[in-house]
A and B are shown apart, each in its own frame.
Chain A
């Protein structure tokens, strides 16, 4: 029977905290940047202009249909060779993860927008609103409510996807725990603790979002 000894991890606490800080900070950046890419992608696919639609679609499918691990490596190793663009591991992984997340956010946002009954934007138009006004005042406020569960889901995946940046030696929680595991010869304790840390952050977040959803749903 294996003898668990979590006490040993205490001496690595600063390493873990450091890694956790990088993971959380990274997630904030890639979720925000991803939402920007997602909005661009969504409105791109809904554009009146074919060229814009095609560009947006190409972006979405390129990032949605290739593995994120490959994208990370590609951004860091291939871009310098092909395009002469040198990036630090942090920039490369932030960009890759944001674009990857953005491609999924795009489809969530687009789906939310087109799920709103056409009569809503027609009613806006009949009042004399421009398409932009009816999007902002009528369609988006309703669509965002429907997008929230899916956006949250995707953001949870994004949070966990940050663990992949350890392949580019970005010192996130997983990378630091690898260091700790090699040093302590206690991988079981280390990775169990890491799993608990991810869950300990995500579970309260999901509860907060569920509450928010309920509040938003009152008017519908």
Chain B
């Protein structure tokens, strides 16, 4: 698997103070693979996700995305800010609270990465940004400011903003957790579309039915360790571990996904 994997994580450790959040985590994501990370809050799944693009710098272990790899721990030199920035430009991230730039229009939000980071000419960046906004169904919102958008629309803009960097990998950090229930569907359908296009993705989510539908692999974490891992349907339908069973018992695991209202 490791020859073809897009993301490879070995022996990852991270502590915040005396709180050990990640204990020796290994993770492989195949090219075009979709991995869902589930688990109770405080299990370390968000921290693990943030270690993949080094928004959180691990204490030990190694992280590889594509051809770029970093080792952490004793004797390993921490990467400098330029190296980190270049690395992060190849991965897209979508946050629970959208984190759109409120002082920019929707279009400017999506153009910001290409213009500032990739040094793209404004006209080219605008074309790219408009295409990405169209892709998430928000072409007509280009000149509005984020405050005027609904939560679901904001999150779709955030996805467009990440896609405008033309990343190899997309990371979703509870992308639908802050949304009103009726707005979850429109965001999930965009993620589902990305999956069908072959984007490599790691998705931290509480939408178990969605994970079952879209992810090919599922990882259940608790207390900083991977408790169970396997094909998404298999883990959700027939969990081996008691802890996984207990966690999953809180959710409707199957059934229809929330409807994606195409109206925006």
Contacts and interface: CB of A to CB of B under 8 A. Distances in A.
Nearest to A128: B89
Given A120-B101, A220-B102, A220-B103, A125 B82 contact: no
Interface string A164-181: 000000000000000000
B55 interface: yes
11 contacts: A120-B101, A123-B100, A125-B88, A126-B55, A127-B112, A127-B113, A128-B85, A129-B85, A130-B81, A137-B116, A138-B112
A141 B91 CA distance: 25
Given A142-B101, A219-B103, A220-B102, 5 more contacts: A127-B162, A128-B118, A130-B85, A131-B81, A220-B145
A37 B136 CA distance: 46
B93 interface: yes
B116 A129 contact: yes
Given A128-B165, A131-B81, A119 B99 contact: yes
B164 to A, nearest CB: 9
Contact of B85 (A117, A125, A137, A138): A125
Interface in A131-150: 131, 133, 137-138, 141-142, 145
A119 B53 CA distance: 15
Contacts of B53: 126
A123 B104 CA distance: 14
Contacts of A86: none
Contacts of B88: 125-128
Interface string A104-129: 00000000000001011011011111
Contacts, number: 75
A149 B89 CA distance: 36
B241 to A, nearest CB: 32
Contacts of B90: 128
Contacts of A125: 55, 84-85, 88
A10 B103 CA distance: 51
B95 interface: yes
Contacts of B86: 128
Interface residues of A, number: 20
Nearest to B90: A128
Interface in A53-111: none
A126 B162 contact: yes
The 6 residue pairs across chains A and B that have the minimum distance between CB atoms: A128-B89, A123-B99, A119-B99, A126-B93, A127-B113, A128-B117
A219 B116 CA distance: 21
Contacts of A142: 101-103
Nearest to A126: B93
Contacts of A126: 53, 55, 88, 91-93, 95, 162
A129 B117 contact: yes
Interface in A195-220: 219-220
Nearest to B94: A126
Contact of A119 (B95, B112, B147, B165): B95
A122 B117 contact: no
A97 to B, nearest CB: 32
**A122, A128, A145, A219: which has the most chain B beta carbons within 10 Å?**
A128
Contacts of A145: 103
A114 to B, nearest CB: 16
Contact of A127 (B81, B102, B104, B117): B117
A107 B264 CA distance: 43
A137 B103 CA distance: 10
B161 interface: yes
Interface in B13-71: 53, 55
